Amino acid sequence: MTNEIIVNETVTENVAAEAIAENVTTREETTTMTTVAKATTTKVGKCTACAKFVSLRKMTTREKANYKRTGLCPKCYAKKQAERLATIAANKAARAEKKANAQAMRANSPFNQVLALVQNSSLNDAQLALLQDRDFVLKATNIVYPLLKKYDVNKTFEEQTYVCKKARYARTPININGDDYLVTNNIYAKNLDKVKAMFQGIGALATDETTTDEAVAIS
């Protein structure tokens, strides 16, 4: 009997201890939930940028949404947005400037300068024949391909322009005296003066040249 009483008392004590522990845990959970509820009810937040406390009650719906998403008060959010928009505008302006510079460089490229020379010259049949003569062009300009090549609609572009798997003529033909011609793209800055001298030598240099920008650029 004595042993049974001791066992029962021990079990009772353990049960009581477990109940007390459960009550303590429950009280702690309740306290935590109450704290969170109070924080939510007070509608006060802290900006992650300026570290200032802000009242959510004074915010508009949009400001509250922005605060919830970014953690920024309206003032810091507006500042960040302004900086972001300024960066976007600066990047856009930089891209536009880069594009304009690239277009200017392309317009003044050796190829486009020669193209303008061809388009602004009144070439007769004899002059056209010379500009299609590989040996004549090579001797006059050091360009290894005829300056002009008559375009054949019955052949593919690759058949007419590719040498060693690389296009040696611009893809878009130009019309001269009713016929279409391809202009070689194998032109470098070192060839320009010699090309102009060649045109002058055959009497094809235009007396009233327009600028390269006015020529129709092709590639």
Q: What is the pLDDT of residues 127-140, one digit of tens each?
A: 999 999 999 999 99
Q: Report d(CA 166, CA 186) in Å as an integer.
A: 11
In a domain, 90, yes or no: yes
Same structural domain, 86 and 137 = no
In a domain, 27, yes or no: no
Q: What is the pTM of this model?
A: 0.51
Same structural domain, 55 and 122 = no
Residues in the chain where the model's pLDDT stays below 70:
1-42, 206-219
Residue 132 phi/psi, 5° resolution? -100, 0
Residue 61: give the domain boundaries: 43-107
Q: Report d(CA 60, CA 10) in Å as an integer.
A: 62
- pLDDT score at 13: 52
Q: 107, 127, 155 — which closes off a domain?
A: 107
- pLDDT score at 37: 39
Average pLDDT, the chain: 79
In a domain, 50, yes or no: yes
Same structural domain, 142 and 179 = yes
Same structural domain, 100 and 190 = no
Q: Residue 117 contacts by C-beta under 8 Å, 6 or more apart in sequence? A: 195, 196, 199, 205, 206, 209
Q: Are the beta carbons of 183 and 118 closer than 8 angstroms?
A: yes
> In Å, what is the CA distance from 71 to each residue of 36, 56, 66, 151?
18, 12, 7, 66
- pLDDT score at 162: 87
Same structural domain, 53 and 146 = no
- pLDDT score at 44: 82
- Count of the separate structural domains present in the chain: 2
